[in-house]
Chain A
Amino acid sequence: AQSVTQLGSHVSVSEGALVLLRCNYSSSVPPYLFWYVQYPNQGLQLLLKYTSAATLVKGINGFEAEFKKSETSFHLTKPSAHMSDAAEYFCAVSDRTGTASKLTFGTGTRLQVTL
């Protein structure tokens, strides 16, 4: 069985500060890993994904994440936070076995950006 742990249900940073959202996963097979973002009153939008190519993955809006197998982590970072980054962020792992590809999500981290 797969699982995802997101440390910190709420994270607050100042505008211009580093954003670090933590994600650790558990998977019995090499995983596909995803970060999704949900802005207020909108659906989930894909930020970036890891699918066994480069371990450092760059996504939209200046976000990136690094896959570290030894640490079973896939933390999301952005060098400089912007007010528009305030949203809820979800880490997810995909079951790559067979034809099913359901996602297992973490509980989400709500990012607050302050002036």
Chain B
Amino acid sequence: EAGVTQFPSHSVIEKGQTVTLRCDPISGHDNLYWYRRVMGKEIKFLLHFVKESKQDESGMPNNRFLAERTGGTYSTLKVQPAELEDSGVYFCASSQDLRLAGADTQYFGPGTRLTVL
């Protein structure tokens, strides 16, 4: 079974540019999460999708960040325009339907390292 995949693995852009990160969850997982780790700090929650609906987006920093999950499969996270403080590692995670046993486990992708110059 394929794990959570993320693309690209690294992205270097200049301030003011746009970047789109992609996450493919484990097949059949209804829940998809985005997290971010700024260097030296803790991993912080950004938002949670249940299928194609945003369940919780309380962690999104501001309106420069837009997440979508069309069709309830893969998700994209767009940053437009990027600022210096957006640099960090963006992780995606997925889990099964919360009503199923074991659904409390989130499986993480390898992350996308974003550098804004």
Contact B108 A36 (CB under 8 A): yes
Interface residues in B62-117 (C-beta closer than 8 Å to A):
91, 93, 95, 98, 103-111
Task: Identify the interface centre among B50, B106, B109, B110: most chain A CB within 10 Å of its CB.
Answer: B106
Contact B91 A103 (CB under 8 A): no
Interface residues in B12-49 (C-beta closer than 8 Å to A):
31, 33, 35, 41-45, 48
In the complex, per-residue mask of A98-114: 1 if CB is within 8 Å of any chain B CB, else 0: 01111111111000000
Cβ contacts under 8 Å, B48 to chain A: 100-102
Contact A46 B107 (CB under 8 A): yes
A73 at the interface (CB under 8 A from B): no
Contact A106 B104 (CB under 8 A): no
Which of B42, B55, B56 contacts A108 (CB under 8 A)? Answer: B42
Give the complex CA separation of A43 and B3 in angstroms.
10
Cβ contacts under 8 Å, B55 to chain A: 99-100
Residue of B nearest to A49 (CB): B105
Contact A104 B45 (CB under 8 A): yes
Cβ contacts under 8 Å, B105 to chain A: 34, 46, 49
B59 at the interface (CB under 8 A from A): yes
Residue of B nearest to A92 (CB): B43
Q: List the interface of chain B (C-beta within 8 A of A).
A: 3-4, 31, 33, 35, 41-45, 48, 50, 55-56, 59, 91, 93, 95, 98, 103-111
Q: Other than the known A44-B91, A102-B33, what 20 A-B pairs have Cβ atoms closer than 8 Å?
A: A4-B42, A32-B104, A41-B110, A42-B110, A43-B3, A43-B4, A43-B91, A43-B108, A44-B43, A44-B93, A46-B107, A100-B55, A101-B98, A101-B104, A102-B48, A102-B59, A103-B93, A103-B106, A107-B42, A108-B43
